[in-house]
Amino acid sequence: MNNEVLVVGSLALDTVETPFGQVEEALGGAGLYAATAASLLASVHLVGVIGDDFPQQALDDLAGRGVVLDGVQIIEGGKSFRWSGRYEYDMNEADTLETHLNVFADFEPVLPPAARQCDFVFLANILPSLQLRVLDQVDQPRLTICDTMNFWIENAREELLEVLSRVHVAAMNDAELRQLTGQPNLAKAATEVLEMGPKYLVIKKGEYGASLVSCDRHFALPCYPLPTVVDPTGAGDSFAGGFIGFLAWSGEISDEQLRQALAIGTVTASACVEDFSINALGRLTAEELYKRYEALRGMVAFPDIPREAICSV
């Protein structure tokens, strides 16, 4: 068994403004967030593309965390993917101001031999056609997770449906779930997505937590409470990185481990949003992760009520 994680996604330079400050050309991108999060618990192979303007120190820091970077293509003379966005006080969604794909526009994922052997694969939010090309290159992974977005649901639906038919876990938020299925009821929408192929569905609810749904089970968690949220950029990708990193660390894919992974993903994301870029995520330690996990577990624990006490009323 090769309990390593493959992350395929973007590495970007983000300009972000929130009510609590702003940063220019800070480190970002779904692949970067997910790999940083997953590397806290597992060995990670990262596949993506950057221009030669991407900070070398960022690559050195990733390598220092044990992230294997031989799948990151560096285009000489090219510019890295850039995104600019603004959040208002309701920070559940960003207003995109600018997107410059640059070298990411011609990204063709090529997996090095070691990356093909990874048992755990996270396909971050990239074109579904590129996600399919990755799936064609990996060698029978034990768990594959795909992320998506409303743009792909509207403009690349057929390719996305093929991706869903081939992965074990799909990750979506409420709006994406409703858009894909046309169902206003989330329970019915979740059932329809599971019928498309994945064995599990992770429903990301931002500040309201997350749910894990299968054909016969539904498990939900609140978010980890925070006194301050500075920048929610990358929270969903950090969640996914924590989720899959934990499963790779445990080496098990059971209902119990998946529920634990949902909690680990939740508390990993909580660290991400406490600062801009990957700053807080990079400072997160295994000890702090465990403390947050235990605090979240205590929040949702409640005692049994004897059946006869209720049924005798």
CA dihedral 268, 270, 274, 277 (to 10 degrees): 50
- Cβ(139)–Cβ(25) below 8 Å: no
Give the pLDDT of residue 1.
66
- Distance, in Å, from the CA atom of 287 to the CA atom of 290, rounded to the nearest integer, reads 5
pLDDT at residue 312 in the model: 79
CA distances from 240 to 68, 124, 151 (A): 18, 9, 20
> What's the CA gap between 144 and 23, in Å, rounded?
33
Helices (H), the chain: 30-38, 56-64, 113-116, 128-137, 150-155, 157-166, 174-181, 186-195, 235-250, 255-272, 279-283, 286-300, 307-311
pLDDT digits (tens, 9 = 90+) for 225-267: 998 899 999 999 999 999 999 999 999 999 999 999 999 999 9
Token code pair at residue 306: 């004897």
List Cβ neighbours of 113 (8 Å cut-off, separation of 6 or more).
none
Of residues 137, 77, 66, the one with CA closest to residue 108: 137
At 50 the pLDDT is 98
pLDDT band with cut points at 50, 70 and 90 for residue 302: confident
What pLDDT digit, counting tens, does each position of 94-128 carry? Answer: 899 999 999 999 999 999 999 999 999 999 999 99
Range of the domain at 131: 5-311
In contact, 235 and 273? CB cutoff 8 Å: yes
Per-residue pLDDT for 74 more than 90? Answer: yes
Average pLDDT over residues 198-202: 97
Report the pLDDT value the prediction gives residue 56, as an integer from 0 to 100.
97
pLDDT higher than threshold 80 for residue 313: no
The residue type at 156: A
Measured in whole angstroms, the distance separating CA 166 from the mean position of its chain's CA atoms is: 18
Predicted local confidence at residue 156, as pLDDT: 93
Q: Phi and psi dihedrals of 257, rounded to 5? A: -65, -35
For residue 192, what is the domain's CATH number? Answer: 3.40.1190.20
CA–CA separation, 68 and 32 (whole Å): 12
The mean pLDDT of the chain is 95
Domain total for the chain? 1
Does the CA dihedral 125-132-179-258 come out positive or negative? negative
Quick: pLDDT tens for 140-178: 999 999 999 998 999 999 999 999 999 999 999 999 999
- Note the pTM of the prediction, 2 decimals: 0.95
| Percent of all residues in the chain with a pLDDT value above 90, rounded to a whole number | 89
Q: Do the Cβ atoms of 170 and 193 come closer than 8 Å? A: yes
Q: How far apart are CA 205 and CA 203, in angstroms?
A: 6
- Under DSSP, the state recorded for 15 is E
